[in-house]
Structure 1
Amino acid sequence: MGILSGIFLTITIFTGLFLAQSAVGIHPFKSIVKVILSVIAVVIVFEALQFFTGSDLDPGIVSILLLPSFVWFVRMPILQACFTILLGWTYQIAVVCVIQRNLFELAITQAKLESDSFILFMIELFIFMNNLLIILWVVRLKPILLPTEVFRKTESNDKPKYMHRTTLLISAILLIVLGIFFQYTYNDRQFFTPAYRLFITSWSLLLLAIILVYLKTSLRQKLAQEKFYLDQQYQQDMLSFFTVIRSQRHDFNFHLTSIYGLLKKREYDEATTYIGQVVQQVQDVNELLPLEHPAMSALLNTQGELAKQKGIKIHYSIFDDLRGIPVSVYDVNKILGNLIQNAMEELELLPVIERKLHVEITKEKRHYVIRISNRTTADNQRIMNMFQSGFSTKSSHEGIGLASVEKIVTANFGVIYPELNEEWLTIHVRIPEDTENY
């Protein structure tokens, strides 16, 4: 049973981690090969330790050994990795041991059967079938308990590093205490009466459900509050943008009257110049209208007005409305805002005549593409360091913008890279249209 127990332990641990990955907002197939290899390697180490020590070790050791592998091999953020391991261990001790094994053994005891090799194999087969059903359920429904936003770091100095760390800490402590209690109960199950074992099984289900509901509802409520505050921040930019549009519509009749007067006087050159000025004003706004979400257009409009104040000539080329981009509006605006802001700060160091900025939004080969191009005096060495957190060319700047953009892009399976060509720096951002297969 040594090899079989190792195989069944591997399947059980993998099932818990597969479910836990989906619960913390990670697609289970994103790194399934690395997870399987990590579990197999750690289980082999665990079985070897049991063989050489000649004692039955607690399978919880496997969870502890998996944490470094998830951080450095699977490349998962440490806080997200901790909750993945914790939820996987909770599944193993609460669902598999206390509920499934305990109930099956209780049924065997009540039937007055001896626990021979066949019975032990049937228990493992029973658990294996349950694990298979849970994996199929996860594949189909992709349940999410903790959205990815919960584990995202903030770059603001006036906010904690993790916005939800208090709720996460309380939940982690509750899960650990509950797991230790279940571990003790399962290890000493032979000393308890069948009625108490049945009560513990029911109680474990109730406690686990209460903790998970608390974790989900409390964090979802806070995320909703954050979204509300972010929407309020967007409103000022959107109000400014719509004011410009309403102003243009209001002035349209005056422009027609002026043009008509110039044409009637046969002042064609003046009429041409006047029309050119009107078209330029209208074109500045029309460039932003194709975007699907008004908050994106509002941000670009605000950045455009700021660029004019700094003597920067900014041009937008929008060939896609970003309707289907698998990134939140908040994150898209964060990408655009940080990249444009960094480009304008670079252009402020140049003479006014060279302050040119080009923003392109398009779609190429099932990828959404954002390109920010500006004149620069940067060399290759500075460009290589620009995505490091804390790096900045200005003493007053925190140097976190590009690093935070890179985190958002890579979290959505995209890539970001700079290109230097004849004193023009272009930052390319490519985000895949469909992230389900990543």
Structure 2
Amino acid sequence: MVFSSPNYLISILSLGQVLIIAIFTQYLAVAGIPIPLGWMFIVDMVVVGNTALSLVLMRKLMVQEEQANLIRQQAKHIQDLEEMIRNIRAQRHDFISHLQAVYGMLQMGKLESAREYLAEVTGDIRILTQTLKLKSPEVAALVQQKAALAASRNISFGLVIETDLSKVTVRPHNLNRILGNLLDNAMDAVAFLATRDRYIRLEINEDEENYIISVGNSGPGIREDLMEKIFEPGFSTKGENRGLGLAIVRGIVEQHGGQVRLTSPPTIFTVTLPKAGGE
């Protein structure tokens, strides 16, 4: 940790010395003890020197902390890139197996089974292809993970990406918080439906000035009187200890000059984020 470094300890000691000298000098003044001019000169030199040293060391600590944060971000970036590469390799590795399975079903005359199997396989490939359009591997990895989670819950996942988000002003960490909360909310909304009715859809588009992210679901509509309340911290229709996700989404979006709009039914959350360099 940066704050256990020698620079930090020296800075604390320097400030401690300044504090001790100041207290001792104040004590002499209150006690009416004459303070020699030489002593005052020494005190001034020590105070100025230690203060300057502390400021320099604190500046170094801030630089070290920034560098440490950058290293952590780069490590996360590399981890997400590696995850994407693993997904691509897995798709390539499984491709022959999928072809063999389809060929076997066709040989047995099971055309409907082959059609359903191909629909599922091509859906996985389409999701991977769509996410590769994004410039941010962190965001691409999150979308892939949420698509896989939806599949594990028997939820159909529609995905349309028509932009690379290259000019988005929101950092990947916060953009993932927006997407993650909206997608989790959508999956929760359809969890109690019959399997055939479970459907969520993510669209990422752009116009001249903004990026537009919409997340819809096939769940029950939201009453008009609740459309504003669901963005309030702690408000939830799902029970206790819930209701923070949408509040987090609105907070991040508005912090970056964007807007969140809700329409229902069907339930669609639309996030608008201004591009870098826009008004």
Shift of residue 419, structure 1, vs aligned partner: 2.3
Q: Does 1:360 align with 2:199?
A: no
Q: Does structure 2 conserve the Cα–Cα contact (< 8 Å) formed by 1:418 and 1:425? A: no
Shift of 1:395: 2.3
Counterpart-to-counterpart distance in 1, 2:133 and 2:150: 21
Query: For residues 171-200 of structure 1, what are the alpha-carbon distances to aligned partners after superposition, in whole Å with 9 as ceiling and x for unaligned?
Result: 9xx8xx99xx9xxxxxxxxxxx9xx99x97
How far residue 280 of structure 1 moved from its aligned partner, in angstroms, is 2.8
Q: Aligned AA for 2:95? A: F
User: 1:393 Cα deviation (Å)?
Assistant: 2.0
Aligned partner (choices 252, 260, 263) of residue 95 of structure 2: 252
TM-superposed deviation, 1:424? 1.5
Residue of structure 2 equivalent to 1:310: 153
What is the aligned counterpart of 1:217 among 58, 61, 75? 61
Work out whether residues 361 and 371 of structure 1, in 8 Å CA contact, stay in contact via their aligned partners in 2.
yes
8 Å CA contact retained: 1:262, 1:270: no
Deviation string 1:242-277 (CA, Å, 9 cap, x unpaired) is 4432122113234445667788x6969479725444
User: Which whole-Å CA distance do the structure 1 matches of 2:49 and 2:277 have between them?
Assistant: 34
How many Å separate the matches in 1 of 2:278 and 2:127?
A: 37
- 1:290 maps to a residue whose letter is K
Superposed CA deviations along residues 140-190 of structure 1, whole A, max 9, x for unmatched, are: xxxxxxxxxxxxxxxxxxxxxxxxxxx9xx99xx8xx99xx9xxxxxxxxx
In structure 2, the partner of 1:431 is 273
1:411 maps onto 2:255 in alignment: yes
Deviation at 1:302, TM superposition (A): 1.2
Partner of residue 144, structure 2: 301
**Percent of aligned pairs with the same residue?**
27
2:236 aligns to what SS in structure 1?
coil
Distance of 2:70 and 2:44 partners within structure 1: 39
1:383 corresponds to 2:254: no
Q: In structure 2, how many angstroms separate the alpha carbons of the residues matched to 1:417 and 1:269?
A: 45
- Secondary structure of 2:231's partner? coil
Q: Provide the residue aligned with 1:370 in structure 2.
A: 213
Given residue 428 of structure 1, which amino acid in structure 2 is its aligned partner? T
For the residues of structure 2 that align with 1:292 and 1:301, how far apart are their CA atoms?
14
1:405 aligned partner, one-letter code? V
Residues 415 and 431 in structure 1, CA contact (< 8 A), matched pair in contact too: yes
Aligned residues of 1:320 and 1:361 also touching (Cα < 8 A): yes
Shift of 1:392: 1.9
Task: Note if contact 2:258-2:274 (Cα within 8 Å) is conserved in structure 1.
Answer: no
TM-score by length of 2: 0.69
Whether the aligned pair in 1 keeps the contact of 2:209 and 2:278 (CA below 8 Å) is no
| 1:326 and 1:435 in contact (8 A); partners too | no
Question: 1:286 & 1:224 partners in 2: Cα distance?
Answer: 33
2:105 touches 2:113 (CA, 8 Å); kept in 1?
yes
**Alignment-mate amino acid for residue 367 of structure 1:** N
Aligned pairs, how many?
A: 251
More moved, 387-396 vs 208-217: 208-217
1:324 deviates by 2.3
Cα–Cα, structure 1 residues 205 and 395, in superposed 2: closer, same or farther, change >3 Å? farther
Change (3 A) 1:405 1:276: closer
State the alpha-carbon separation in 2 of the partners of residues 246 and 297 from structure 1: 16
Instruction: Give the Cα–Cα distance (whole angstroms) in 2 for the partners of residues 252 and 363 of structure 1.
Output: 33
Aligned pairs for 1:24-35 within 5 A: none
Within 1, Cα distance between the matches of 2:125 and 2:193? 28
Q: 1:398 aligns with which of 239, 242, 264?
A: 242
Residue type matched to 1:380 in 2?
E
Unaligned runs of 5+ in 2: 1-7, 23-36
TM-score normalised to structure 1 length? 0.46
Partner amino acid, structure 2, of 1:327: V
Provide the rounded CA distance (Å) in 1 between the counterparts of 2:153 and 2:101: 31
Unaligned runs of 5+ in 1: 1-166, 182-192
- CA–CA distance in 1 between the matches of 2:108 and 2:118? 14
Structure 1: distance between partners of 2:78 and 2:222 = 33
Contact residue 318 and residue 362 of structure 1 kept, 8 A: yes
Q: CA deviation at 1:278?
A: 3.5
Structure-2 residue corresponding to 1:288:
131
Residues 303 and 340 of structure 1 are in contact (CA less than 8 Å); yes or no, is this contact kept in structure 2? yes
Contact 1:241/1:302 (8 A) holds in 2: no
The alpha-carbon deviation at position 340 of structure 1 amounts to: 0.9
